[in-house]
Amino acid sequence: MFQLPFPVRDANAAGGDKPLGNLPEWNLDDLYTGEDAPELKRDLDWLEEACASFAHDFENNLASLDAEGLLDCILRQEKINQIAGRIMSYAGLRYYQQTTDGGRAKFMSDVQEKITNFTTPLVFFTLELNRLDDDHLSKLMHQNADLARYEPVFDRIRAMKPYQLSDEMEKFLHDLGVVGDAWERLFDETIAGLEFNVQGDELTIEGTLNLLTDPDRDTRQAAAEELADVFGKNIKTFARVHNTQTKEKEIMDRWREMPTAQTGRHLSNHVEPEVVEALRTAVVNAYPKLSHRYYELKRKWLGLDRMQVWDRNAPLPLEDPKPVPWEAAEKTVMDAYNAFDPRMGEIAAPFFTKGWIDAPVKPGKAPGAFAHPTVTNVHPYVMLNYLGKPRDVMTLAHELGHGVHQVLAADQGEMLSSTPLTLAETASVFGEMLTFRKMLDGAKTNAQRKVLLAGKVEDMINTVVRQIAFYDFECKLHAARRSGELTPEDIGELWMSVQGESLGPAFDFMNGYEHFWAYIPHFVHSPFYVYAYAFGDGLVNALYSVYAEGAEGFEDKYFDMLRAGGSKHHKELLAPFGLDASDPAFWDKGLAMISGFIDELEAMED
């Protein structure tokens, strides 16, 4: 199914009426040329027949296959995944370009139903694979090197073995998936359809969130109050979506006998719960020396007695308010990528010239930014909502990093290219760091350096502190839902319980801020997704430290890591760099980089 990656930070950009240059838009022809494209019909027909013949040839037969037979089974499954992924990528990307278009929504829904129906007979594959004896599967892999290549796939599938239900129940849940997805669509369409009036201007959610970075405090306040008002008027819908999605997950987890609500995410991320807990503990313990300390500095810079939530992403008084034209953003990012290694620039270049980026803000377009890998025989597509803020340049660097990673991993094939979320943020955050360092090196004055450092610290706080606070909110939300239906007020109280702790004593919280959980897409689409951002940032900070120290052969090792896709565990991928995420001190090393930037900002005050 089409899975939408979501942005690492809130939308942060200025109003859309500034000259930004020629913003690129997607050309989806590399997938299909239209809903009525003969190739699309051909692929749907092929998929229906391929799924039926796969089930006919292999159901109740996996245990009797020899090594070559099991390899044939895997390759056929991989081809099915590729065709289904291509179709759903096309339908999904068109939909997210204009979520309020009824025709696009219907097309995606119809295609999704067809693919769900076609692929239901394939549910047996993982169930039967998990019934194979460990020794038997190991023997088959030992006999055939091409089959052994898929061992990481087998490991991930078989990690679900203790939580597997009956064949009939698994097929039922597979069929039911399209119903659960309807709640996600309701959320997307509600968010995209919201209208905001700020100081006489009619805006989408993207444009309104962008005003939270406006230099004028009255404008920021007006935007925040309008967000709170509109969220409040729609809060029952958002609470219904969250209650239903969370209850559905609780039922699934209970039937599967998963020990925690987070277990499924940890399994899909191929990461140990204790590693995530070590990350979470390290970040929470660091709140005072990170976010609390930084926002106290920012309070002084802004000349305020107290900070309000609309000041969190305010520009510094000495920040240049001029928007960054698209061509300048492209040059900044490409220069940084090429300076690291020309191979990275070579991979990134086609995104700008071949219709692989959709940059403008448009009515009905999904908010935020993402990079979708599509399938391994096409290429990724990047979505932005570019409005010319320096943070938008960083978002471009971030999403382009995903794109480079996805291109490099494509040679692994459909089953091995997909990277667990914890590692999927590596290239994106590293791309941001390269761009930031390039801009910092080019700073001509202390004021420019201060603005860049402050911007990077804020991005890191949004990536690490804010996302771990989100994770704690989700943990509390899912735990509370097990005791019964949650009112909007109940959910608001859980939200506020993590906000004060993470942002610190410099802040007051306006009435209505208790509704701001409503617009975060991760909570609906991908429960517990958010800690992957903090994981990725901490990992990259440690990784960049190795690079900055001049480690020999770093670039080649880095490209090898990206090419590996999902074929290796995080321990194996980080070993060539002398790093180990299971070591609690690993996270302190990453957090120390953020703290060091704040040290430098404090020193500028003297």
d(CA 328, CA 311): 27
Map out the domains of the chain as residue ranges: 28-180, 234-321+421-606
pLDDT in tens, 440-477: 988 888 888 998 999 899 989 998 999 999 999 999 99
Residues facing 307 on adjacent strands:
507
Helix (H) or strand (E) holding 294: helix 291-301
d(CA 328, CA 189): 33
Tokens standing for 483?
């005791």
pTM of the model: 0.82
Q: How confident is the model at residue 171 (pLDDT cuts 50, 70, 90)?
A: confident
Helix (H, G, I), strand (E, B) or coil at 124: helix
Tokens standing for 344?
């990275």
Tokens standing for 273?
């719960």
Q: How confident is the model at residue 25 (pLDDT cuts 50, 70, 90)?
A: very high
d(CA 189, CA 366): 9
Asked if the model's pLDDT at residue 194 lies above 90, the reply is yes
Taking a C-beta distance cutoff of 8 angstroms, is the pair 137, 26 a contact?
no
> Mean pLDDT across the chain, nearest whole number?
91
Instruction: For 234-321+421-606, give the CATH class.
Output: mainly alpha
438-468 burial by CB neighbour count: b if 16+ within 10 A, else e?
A: bbeeeeeeeebbbbbbbbbbbbbbbbbbbbb
Tokens standing for 228?
């709170």
Asked if the model's pLDDT at residue 268 lies above 90, the reply is no
- Nearest 5 degrees, angle CA 427-CA 428-CA 433? 90
d(CA 430, CA 89): 26
Helix (H, G, I), strand (E, B) or coil at 596: helix
Same fold, 28-180 and 234-321+421-606: no
d(CA 318, CA 38): 56
Stretch 395-415: mean pLDDT: 96
Q: At what angle do helices 124-131 and 167-193 cross, to 10 degrees?
A: 130
Lookup result for tokens 């990725």: 536
Q: At what angle do helices 217-233 and 235-256 cross, to 10 degrees?
A: 60
**Pairing label, strands 381-383, 370-372:** antiparallel
Stretch 478-483: mean pLDDT: 96
Tokens standing for 361?
């803000």
Residues facing 370 on adjacent strands:
383
Among 390, 217, 219, CA closest to 208: 219
Q: What is the DSSP string of 481-506?
A: HTTS---HHHHHHHHHHHHHHHH-TT
Among 86, 99, 94, CA closest to 521: 99
Q: Pick the residue with more confidence: 297 or 160? A: 297
- Sign (positive/negative) of CA torsion 60, 63, 65, 68? positive
Lookup result for tokens 């990259």: 540
pLDDT in tens, 372-393: 999 999 999 999 999 898 889 9
Between 145-149, 297-301, 333-337, 584-588, the lowest mean confidence (pLDDT) is in 584-588
Taking a C-beta distance cutoff of 8 angstroms, is the pair 294, 461 a contact?
yes
> How many C-alpha atoms does 546 have within 13 Å on its Cβ side?
21
Asked if the model's pLDDT at residue 100 lies above 50, the reply is yes
Tokens standing for 532?
């992957």
Helix (H, G, I), strand (E, B) or coil at 507: strand
Stretch 150-174: mean pLDDT: 86
Tell me, what DSSP letter sits at residue 387? -
Stretch 161-166: mean pLDDT: 86
- Nearest 5 degrees, angle CA 160-CA 164-CA 166? 160
Residues 6+ apart with CB under 8 A from 72: none
Q: Pick the residue with more confidence: 566 or 319? A: 566
Helix (H) or strand (E) holding 357: strand 357-358
d(CA 417, CA 407): 9
Looking at this protein, which amino acid is placed at residue 555? Answer: E
Residues 6+ apart with CB under 8 A from 587: 278, 279, 282, 283, 538, 581
Asked if the model's pLDDT at residue 423 lies above 70, the reply is yes
Taking a C-beta distance cutoff of 8 angstroms, is the pair 72, 54 a contact?
no
Asked if the model's pLDDT at residue 9 lies above 80, the reply is no
What is the pLDDT at residue 18?
Answer: 54
Helix (H) or strand (E) holding 197: strand 196-198
d(CA 224, CA 214): 11
Asked if the model's pLDDT at residue 96 lies above 90, the reply is yes
Residues facing 198 on adjacent strands:
201
Taking a C-beta distance cutoff of 8 angstroms, is the pair 358, 25 a contact?
yes
Taking a C-beta distance cutoff of 8 angstroms, is the pair 599, 557 a contact?
no
What is the pLDDT at residue 368?
Answer: 85
Q: How many CB atoms lie within 10 A of CB 356?
A: 24
Q: How confident is the model at residue 606 (pLDDT cuts 50, 70, 90)?
A: low
Stretch 501-522: mean pLDDT: 95
Stretch 77-97: mean pLDDT: 96
What is the pLDDT at residue 180?
Answer: 67
Looking at this protein, which amino acid is placed at residue 283? Answer: V
CATH 1.10.510.10 is right for the domain spanning 28-180: no
Taking a C-beta distance cutoff of 8 angstroms, is the pair 598, 460 a contact?
no
d(CA 387, CA 168): 50
What is the pLDDT at residue 447?
Answer: 87
Helix (H, G, I), strand (E, B) or coil at 56: helix
Looking at this protein, which amino acid is placed at residue 36? Answer: D
Calculated CA dihedral for residues 364, 370, 373, 379, nearest 10 degrees = 80
